[in-house]
Amino acid sequence: MVYHRKDKLIRHTSSKKSAYMRPEEKDIEGAKRHLDTIHLNPEYQGKLKGKKVVVLDDYTANGYSFECARNLLLNQGVKELIFVTIGTFQNVYRKEDFLLKVMFLVQTLMQQI
């Protein structure tokens, strides 16, 4: 097992905490708000394919941060993901799948228009 000290995912902009959102806000925004605030550390670009990655978090409310991480890391070709959290608010975990390559392409095209 190899331990990497540097964070693989970097939050570049703060995100509204799920614990402080109304339920209907959470359902509308979901993991998308995290995708707008987190990106892969450029040092790991292209280096995670076929790897096993463990993601640690202090607490999870609905799993939106984990879903963001899962989508970003699977998009990089990660073979296996293990999520570990110290605690939970015992809410329903909400799985969300995003087509990140398609989203990136659309954003790139929109910037060119």
> What's the whole-model pTM score?
0.67
**pLDDT per position as a tens digit, 22-69:** 877 776 777 777 788 888 888 888 899 999 998 888 877 777 788 888
Note the pLDDT of residue 20.
78
**pLDDT per position as a tens digit, 54-108:** 888 887 777 778 888 888 898 889 999 888 888 776 666 666 676 655 555 555 5
- Give the integer Cα–Cα distance in Å for 19 and 92: 13
- Give the integer Cα–Cα distance in Å for 74 and 72: 6
What type of residue is 59?
Answer: Y
